[in-house]
Structure 1
Amino acid sequence: MKKYLVIIVWMFISSLTHACTLSEKGILEAYQKKLSERHQGQLLDFSQLELACKSWPARKGISILVSPYVSTVAQHDDQRFLGLAIILVDDVTGGRMSEFDDFPVSTVDAISPRTVDIDTAAYKVTSKDLAFGLRIKQQNSSGVNPFGEEMLNLYVPDGTGIRNILAGLFTSGYSGEGGEQCVFEGDNSTAFISILKTESNKFYDLKVRQEVTSQVSRASPNGCIESLRKKTTKSYILTFKNKKYEIPSQLKSLSLDK
């Protein structure tokens, strides 16, 4: 059967993002306290990453609030993990509609999270369900061998809870190896997501087209010369199984070793 694109989703964060209001911060702080009591034996740090708040244009009157945190787990040799405290709020009453403690999202080590952005593109994943996304940007601190990536998680409201239906999809990034005198080789990758009309377990299939560009830099008498080595494009179909979209290894975030 021929597949038709329903909508193409590009990595664009809409201008409706806003700084968290005092009331939204209060809601998140109350949930932070609740999570600290729940995570016994763990040290939760809510200060490493900024809060994120955003109106949900497709769901009028609802805002998405996110408090990223890093948890140090003693029973795992003090390994650190990223967690996301997520709340949906009624804009009129200010009441909490749904909440979710997504933990662990990823490991935190040489590659560490830097920002979390709320993505309200039209992720219509079923005939009735509309998902929202969280984009986690992370990178290392190496100037010689730099690495950075953005991964996407998708969530759908489920009564007073929220379900994670896509975890750790690599959507963009860069990596490379360098040396002295402009010597550098690296790759840049970008993923484009399409929602198809074909279904798997009542969820629309996702098509991910990944473009990878390889570049090389060399020293010359006239300075650094950068050149494009090659550009490759591959496509993948993500199907829904066991309550989540299955992600091929080529599209998984490197921080998902948990």
Structure 2
Amino acid sequence: MKINYTLLFLLIFSCQLMAQEHGNKHKRPAPGAVEITGEQDEATKANAEYINHGTFLKEALLKLPLKTVPLIDSTSFDSFIDIDDYKPIDADLFMLPKIYKNWHSKNYRICTINAYRLHLSENFHTVVATVLKADFEMETRLINYDLKGNIMGSQMVSYDEISEGWRRYTSTIEKKKIIRSYYMSPNEDDVPVMEVNFIKIKPNGALYEMGIDDIFFDLVADVFDIPSQRQMPELNKFKILPNNPNLAVVVVPEIAAGSEEDGYFAFNTHIALANVAAKKITHYYFESHKTNGWTSDAIRLAQISIDTAPYFVTENKRAFGLRLHFWGSSQVNPYGEQSLSLFELSGKTLKKILHNFTVEMETGEWDGDCNGEFTDHNKTLAMTGKKSGGYFDILVRNKITHTTAFKNNGDCDSRERTTVKTSILKFDGRQYQRGN
């Protein structure tokens, strides 16, 4: 590092002076602001200050240099060699004491030394500010403010320190996420250890660290151009394959254009197989809402789950399943259904070999009090040793439970009758079908 130590120590001891010099600028009356007299209530005064703060913040923000994304922020002590590199901002106006709780402490020397702005959205403002903290630490933070000047979220994007050991953060800042890398070496001569994490930038400016599932949901959405407004995140699914922990199944349903009407939705199917380590899609499957049966209306698509049971369709080929869970909205006519589809790897794509086979169904009719009749179908699948079309037949065992509920001496009572039926699914060269 080419550090100007004289300059560094001058900066350390002048942090509080910088804060005083640049503080209070936002307390001047805003252009066109209405004067609030002592006779007006405190709520009106607070509201005026609230509005003025947002105005002042926007004015100060527009004076900062604008950078475009994607960009790499690797701010370090090497970034500040000359005095002209130091351009502090008004810490109070940018509400930095809300982020750094010891900002105004006499025993905690901290000050801003530079900042720039980004245009990530029309819905919030973004500032990236560098602060010198303690004696030998430098940190750069991305901060999002709503249009009234409130902090919506902040995350460190780069960090540097002067010490016997060595650790640094750098970040790639994109429109919708931050990819942050952490480098650490106990001794300067050691090979650095690196870790990477991902931070989501939400449409309202909030920030949160992404889990591994969020990372792959975003990857599928980006690669296959699924806009956020056409996603229903509660239906997204991610699961690592137990037989290959470096591969994961990722499901991102897409609300079909023009399908939203009075609570009705139809979804296009997006299923990907991804390499977890490389964060790369290896296999992909798409199906239109016109043929996939992924609809949600009075019979609601409540959940999607990934089934990784050992569906060995041949001696060396294992399929995985996707289950759709539907629930009806009627109280007196309860309805539930669960269907299973199976997929196999085929070249660089995924191939559906079983389409929406009903494995569970609950139906009934009752008076809302006690009297009624209910029927449950619960099917289990088992691979057999016999083949059709080169694939093992599937034995289906259907347990059917019929329940009658009735009043008995004023109490609600019930009786059950259970039967079991079996059937066979055979592969016809394209998909599994019910056999004769």
Name the TM-score, length of structure 2 as normaliser: 0.47
Q: 1:24-63 residue pairs with structure 2 within 5 A?
A: 24-31=216-223, 33=225, 45-47=230-232, 49-63=234-248
1:199 and 2:387 correspond: yes
Which aligned segments of 4 or more residues in structure 1 are displaced greater than 6 angstroms? none
Alpha-carbon distance between aligned partners in 1 of 2:269 and 2:233, rounded to the nearest angstrom: 12
The Cα of 1:32 is off from its aligned counterpart by 5.0
Q: Which residue of 1 aligns with 2:413?
A: 225
Q: Taking structure 1 as reference, are residues 70 and 210 closer, same or farther at Cα in structure 2, changes over 3 Å only?
A: farther
The structure whose residues are more often strand, as a share, is 1
The Cα of 1:231 is off from its aligned counterpart by 1.2
2:425 maps to which of 216, 233, 238: 238
Q: Which amino acid in the other structure matches residue 235 of structure 1?
A: T
Alpha-carbon distance between aligned partners in 1 of 2:387 and 2:217, rounded to the nearest angstrom: 39
Deviations 1:208-241 (A, max 9, x none): 010100001112334211211x211110011001
Alpha-carbon distance between aligned partners in 2 of 1:173 and 1:65, rounded to the nearest angstrom: 26
Deviations 1:2-49 (A, max 9, x none): xxxxxxxxxxxxxxxxx6534212212214525x7xxxxxxx842174
- The answer (yes or no) to whether the contact 2:370–2:405 under 8 Å persists in 1 is yes
Alpha-carbon distance between aligned partners in 2 of 1:123 and 1:110, rounded to the nearest angstrom: 32
Q: Which residue of 2 aligns with 1:141?
A: 329
Alpha-carbon distance between aligned partners in 2 of 1:113 and 1:188, rounded to the nearest angstrom: 19
Alpha-carbon distance between aligned partners in 2 of 1:32 and 1:214, rounded to the nearest angstrom: 45
Q: Which residue of 2 aligns with 1:130?
A: 318
- The answer (yes or no) to whether the contact 1:54–1:65 under 8 Å persists in 2 is yes
Alpha-carbon distance between aligned partners in 2 of 1:209 and 1:180, rounded to the nearest angstrom: 32
- The answer (yes or no) to whether the contact 1:31–1:85 under 8 Å persists in 2 is no
- The answer (yes or no) to whether the contact 1:151–1:168 under 8 Å persists in 2 is yes
2:434 maps to which of 239, 247, 252: 247
Q: Which amino acid in the other structure matches residue 238 of structure 2?
A: C
Q: Which amino acid in the other structure matches residue 303 of structure 2?
A: T
Aligned-residue identity in percent:
23
State the structure with bigger RCO (CA 8 A, min sep 6), 1 or 2: 1
Alpha-carbon distance between aligned partners in 1 of 2:349 and 2:215, rounded to the nearest angstrom: 21
Q: Which residue of 2 aligns with 1:83?
A: 268
Q: Taking structure 1 as reference, are residues 72 and 25 closer, same or farther at Cα in structure 2, changes over 3 Å only?
A: closer
Q: Which amino acid in the other structure matches residue 273 of structure 2?
A: L
Q: Taking structure 1 as reference, are residues 48 and 141 closer, same or farther at Cα in structure 2, changes over 3 Å only?
A: farther
The structure whose residues are more often helix, as a share, is 2
Q: How many correspondences in the alignment? A: 218
Name the TM-score, length of structure 1 as normaliser: 0.77
1:165 and 2:353 correspond: yes
Q: Which residue of 2 aligns with 1:41?
A: none
Q: Which residue of 2 aligns with 1:187?
A: 375
Q: Which residue of 2 aligns with 1:11?
A: none
Of stretches 91-100 and 177-186 in structure 1, the one that deviates more from structure 2 is 177-186
Give the unaligned 5+ runs of structure 1. Answer: 1-18, 37-43, 250-258
Alpha-carbon distance between aligned partners in 1 of 2:404 and 2:297, rounded to the nearest angstrom: 28
Deviations 1:58-117 (A, max 9, x none): 12310111112342557xxxx853432111111121111011113332144432211000
Alpha-carbon distance between aligned partners in 2 of 1:96 and 1:66, rounded to the nearest angstrom: 12
Alpha-carbon distance between aligned partners in 1 of 2:364 and 2:222, rounded to the nearest angstrom: 42
- The answer (yes or no) to whether the contact 1:68–1:85 under 8 Å persists in 2 is yes
- The answer (yes or no) to whether the contact 1:48–1:70 under 8 Å persists in 2 is no
Alpha-carbon distance between aligned partners in 1 of 2:257 and 2:373, rounded to the nearest angstrom: 35
Who wins on radius of gyration, i.e. which is larger? Answer: 2
Q: Which amino acid in the other structure matches residue 88 of structure 1?
A: L
Give the unaligned 5+ runs of structure 2. Answer: 1-210
Alpha-carbon distance between aligned partners in 1 of 2:368 and 2:218, rounded to the nearest angstrom: 50
Alpha-carbon distance between aligned partners in 2 of 1:135 and 1:117, rounded to the nearest angstrom: 5
Deviations 1:125-157 (A, max 9, x none): 012211000011001100000100111000001
- The answer (yes or no) to whether the contact 1:181–1:219 under 8 Å persists in 2 is no
